[in-house]
Chains A and B, each alone.
Chain A
Amino acid sequence: MRKFLADYIKKDGNRNVVLLIVYLVIQTAAFSILLPNFMTVSNFQNLMRQSAELGMVSIPLAIVLMTGNIDLSIGSVMGVCAISMARMLRAGLPIPAAVLFTVCIGALAGSLNGFCVAKLHLDGLVATIGTQVMLRGFCYILTGGRSVSGLPSEFTRVSKMYVLGVPISFLLMLAIFAVAIFVMQKTRIGIQVHAVGYNARASRFSGIEADKIKFRLFVMSGCVAAIASMFMLMRFASAESEFANGYDTDTLVAILLGGINIAGGSGNMLGAFLGLITVAILKNGLNHIGMTATYQQFIVGLLIVISAVRLPKKRD
C-alpha cells in the first residue's frame, strides 16, 4: 500500500490530487469547527446546488485543456442557451421540446468554436475569446436589455428536487464526472486526448485525428454548457443578458487548482473534481464568515497561485 501511494504521487498530475485532498480535509474541518452553520444539511444542499453547474461545465473544459486547447466562451454559451430557453418557455413551448432545442443551440455554439479551432486552425485562445464576445453580444440582442422571467413553476421546481437529500443537479454532475473519468481512463479517447496534448505531431504520425477529437470536444462542451445553463435558470427563475457572465474564469479556476496542465497533456479528472469542490467549499465558508465576494475572489486567486508553485525539482 505504501509503495502504491508512493508510485501514485510520483505520477504526473497526481501530486495535486493528494495535496488537494489533504487541503480539503483541513479546510472543511476548520470551517465546521469555526462556523456553527456550516455543517448543516441545508448549507450542504445549497453548496451542492451551487457547485453542480460549475462542475458540469468544468468536465469538458478539463478535457479540452488536456488537448492543449482552451475554451473561454462557456459563460457566453450558457447565457445564450438560458435566454433562449427562457424565451421558448415564455412562448409556451412544452418543456421537453425547449430542453431539446436548447441543447441543440449549445451544440451549435460549440461547433462554431470547433470549426474555428479544428477546421480554420485558429488559436483556441483567440477563437474562443472571439466567440465569447460575439455570443455575449447575441445575449443582449435576445433579451433586448430586459430580463426574461415568469417561467413556469413545473420548470423552476426541478432545482428543489432531491434524491436522498441530494439535489438532482448535483447527482447529474456526479454522473457526468463518473462517465468522464471512466472514458478518460478506460477508453481509446482518453489515451488519444493525452497524446494530442503532449505531442500533436507524434499523435498525427500514429494516425490520431486530433482535429476530429478537438471538434467533438467543443461540441460536447457546448451541450454540457446548455444543460448546466438550464439548471442555473431554474435556480434564478429568470435570465438576463449578463447570465453566467465570467463563468469561464470560475471554471478555469477550479480546474487549474486541480492540477490540469494548461499547456496540454497532463492532469486527470479526479483533480478537476477536487479543485471544484475545494473552491465551492471555500467560497461557501467565506460567505458564512461574512466576507464579500470581492475579497473571496482575492483569496481564491491567491490559492491558485500557491497551488501552481512547484518546489524546485530535486535533481536525479
Chain B
Amino acid sequence: MSEPVLQTKGIEKSFFGVQVLKGIDFEVRRGEIMGLVGENGAGKSTLMKIITGLYTNDGGTILFEGNPVVFPDPSKARDVGISIIHQEFNLFSQLSVAENIFLDRKDYRNRYGIVDWKKMYGDAERILRELGADLDVRTLVRQLSVREQQLVEIAKAVSANAKVLIMDEPSAALPDNEVQKMFHVVRMLKDRGVAIVYISHRMKEIEEICDRVSVLRDGRNEGVVEMSKGKVDDVISMMIGREISDYYPHSRRSFGQVVLRVEGVSGQGLEETSLEIKSGEVVGLYGLAGSGTTDFAEIVMGLSRRSAGKVFYKEAEVKRDSIKAAMSAGIAYVPPDRRKEGIIVMMDITQNTVMANLRAYEKAGVLQNKKIYEKVEEHVENLQIKCAGQSQQVLRLSGGNQQKVVLAKWLDRNPGLLILNEPTRGVDVGAKSEIYRMIDKLANEGLGILMISSEVPEVLGVSDRVVVMCRGRVTGEYVNEGIGQDVLLKAASSNAGGEENE
C-alpha cells in the first residue's frame, strides 16, 4: 500500500468561538479517489480550505509527501501540486478559456512581459484535448455551460501538474447526464496517478467512483470505509448517526381542484407548453440541460417574457411577465442557482427569510421585529438550519444550509403552488430526506408542487406524476406507477413535434 500523498493530523478550526473542526485526520494516496462525506456544515469545505491555505488552522498539521507544509494562500498550494475546485467556481467570465487556465502563471511572458499567445493557446488546446474536451480555447468563459466551465477548472488544475485534486461538490451544478462525462475525466486523472478528493452528497456517485470514503460528523472523524458494493448504507448511517427508514416518503392522497393550469405557453426556450397541477399533487418535471424546464418555471413565475399562452391559478388568469402577479396569486419559486438567485449572501438569515414576504410583517408601515424573529426561529427549527443564530450572514452558512434558507423564504409566504427547481442540490442525505418529507407533508396539506429535477431517482421517488421535457417541449407524461428510468431518459432525449425528427 502506497504512502499517502496528502495527510492531515488533528486539524482544528473555530469561527468566532464556535469550533467546527475538532481534530480531523484525513489522508489520500496516489491514484486514489477518496470520498469525503458528511452532513451540511460538517466541515468538509472548511477542511479543504485549510489544506489549500485559504483559511489558517488553529491546531494540527498538514503533511504533503511526508513533509509538514503550510500554504500562505491557494496559489502556493497549487504551485506544489495541490489544486482545488471550489463549490463555487472561481473563473473570470470575461476572459478566454486559455487565459483562465494559465491566469497566474508567468511562463507565458517573454522577458519584456509580453504574453506568448501562440504558446498559451497551443498548450491550452493540448491539455483540453488530453481531457477529452472539445472546447475552443479562445471562447470567453461566460459563454460556456456549467460542465465546460468545470472542465476549464480541471484543466487549470492539471496544467499546474496537480498531484492532488480536490473537488468540492463537482456534480452539484451539473445535470445528471453530464456527471458520467465528468467521471470519465476523473478516472483518467486517477490512472495518471493523481490523488483525488471527491466531496459529494450524492451517495450513488460516492458508491460508483470512490475507492475509500472518509466520513465527517460535527467536525469529527467518524471513520473511513473501503468502498465495495452495499457499503454505502454504512456510510450514510455513519454520516447522520441513524438509519433513514423511508427515504422517499410518499403518502397516498387524493387530489383536489386544479391549482395551476398552463395553456400553450411559449417564450424564450419554450414552445407551446401546457401543464396542469392539482392541489395535493406532486408533479415531477424532468429534463436534461437545455430542455426548457427552467425556462418554463421562469415564464410561469413571470420572470421571463411570455410570448404566447395563458397561465391560470385556481381559475384566475395570472398577468403575464410579472413576478408580483404570480406571487400574489400564490405561486412560489425556489430557483436553481441559490447564490445568484436564491439568497443575498451579504445579508443575514432573518432578512433573507422574510425577503419575499415583508408586507406580512408590517403594521402601519413598520416592520415588527419580534414577530419576524419568532417566525424565522420557527423556520430555523422546522428546517433544521444549522447556524450560529438568526443574525448570521448567509455567506457564512454551509452550502446546504443556504439552500434551506431559500426554502424557508418561500414557505414563509404560505403558497398554494410551490415550484422547486433542483431543491436538493448540495443538500446532505439527511436533509434531502427532510425535504422529501416536507414535500410530502405540504402536498398532504393541499399544496400543488412542481419539482424540477435532473435526478431521475428523486423524480421517481417523490412525484405522483412525471412530465418530461426536451428542447422546450413536453415529450412525455406518466402517472408514476412502475415507470422505469429508461422511459424517462428516452423521452428526455427524444424529439417531440415530429418535424425535427431525423
Contact = CB atoms under 8 A, between A and B. Distances in A.
Contacts of B340: 199, 201-202
Given A207-B327, A207-B356, A209-B324, A195 B366 contact: no
B246 to A, nearest CB: 33
A207 B323 contact: yes
Task: Give 9 closest A-B pairs by Cβ, nearest first.
Answer: A188-B358, A206-B356, A205-B341, A206-B355, A199-B344, A198-B346, A207-B327, A198-B344, A207-B323
Nearest to A203: B344
Interface in B388-414: 409
A214 interface: no
28 contacts: A186-B367, A187-B365, A187-B366, A187-B367, A188-B362, A188-B367, A191-B347, A191-B351, A191-B355, A191-B358, A191-B367, A192-B358, A194-B351, A195-B347, A198-B344, A198-B347, A199-B344, A199-B345, A201-B340, A202-B341, A202-B343, A205-B333, A205-B335, A207-B324, A265-B346, A315-B55, A316-B15, A316-B55
Contact of B366 (A186, A201, A209, A265): A186
B303 interface: yes
Contacts of A209: 324
Given A186-B366, A188-B365, A205-B341, 8 more contacts: A186-B367, A187-B362, A191-B347, A194-B351, A198-B346, A199-B345, A202-B343, A203-B355
B56 A201 contact: no
A268 interface: no
Nearest to B365: A187
B243 to A, nearest CB: 36
Interface string A162-205: 00000000000000000000000011100110110011011111
Contacts of A203: 344, 355
A202 B366 CA distance: 23
Contacts of B323: 204-205, 207
A208 to B, nearest CB: 8
Contact of A194 (B56, B333, B341, B347): B347
A113 interface: no
A123 interface: no
A209 B321 CA distance: 13
B367 A204 contact: no
A206 B56 contact: no
Contacts of B55: 315-316
Contacts of A191: 347, 351, 354-355, 358, 367
B342 interface: yes
B359 interface: yes
Given A187-B365, A188-B367, A315-B56, A205 B342 contact: yes
A186 B345 CA distance: 21
- Interface size class of chain B, counting residues whose CB lies under 8 Å from the partner chain: 20 to 34
Contacts of A198: 344-347
B93 to A, nearest CB: 14
Interface in B299-329: 303, 323-324, 327
A199 B347 CA distance: 10
Size category of the A interface is: 20 to 34
A202 B347 CA distance: 12
In this complex, the member of A192, A201, A204, A207 whose beta carbon has the largest number of chain B beta carbons within 10 angstroms is A207
Nearest to A208: B355
Nearest to B14: A316
Contact of B359 (A12, A186, A188, A206): A188
A199 B351 CA distance: 13
Given A186-B367, A187-B365, A202 B15 contact: no
A166 B342 CA distance: 48
Contacts of B346: 12, 198-199, 265-266
A215 to B, nearest CB: 15
B500 to A, nearest CB: 32
Most buried by A among B303, B340, B358: B358
A56 to B, nearest CB: 22
A109 B340 CA distance: 34
Contacts of B366: 186-187
A159 to B, nearest CB: 33
Contacts of B324: 207, 209
Contacts of A206: 355-356, 409
A205 B331 CA distance: 12
A198 B341 CA distance: 12
Contacts of A204: 303, 323
A195 B344 contact: yes
Interface in A265-284: 265-266
A191 B366 CA distance: 12
Nearest to A10: B16
Contacts of A205: 303, 323, 333, 335, 341-342
B345 to A, nearest CB: 8
Interface string A203-240: 11111110000000000000000000000000000000
A309 to B, nearest CB: 21
A203 B367 CA distance: 18
Contacts of B341: 201-202, 205
Contacts of B351: 191, 194-195
B47 to A, nearest CB: 14
A201 B335 CA distance: 11
B355 A195 contact: yes
A200 to B, nearest CB: 10
Most buried by A among B335, B344, B409: B344
B141 to A, nearest CB: 19
A181 B342 CA distance: 28
Nearest to B301: A205
Contacts of B344: 195, 198-199, 202-203
Contacts of A187: 362, 365-367
A316 B393 CA distance: 15
A308 B443 CA distance: 52
A12 B396 CA distance: 14
Nearest to B346: A198
Q: Which of B56, B323, B327, B359 has the most CB of A within 10 A?
A: B323
A90 B346 CA distance: 52
A201 B340 CA distance: 7
Contacts of B358: 188, 191-192
B419 to A, nearest CB: 12
Interface string A279-316: 00000000000000000000000000000000000011
Contacts of A186: 366-367
Contacts of B335: 205
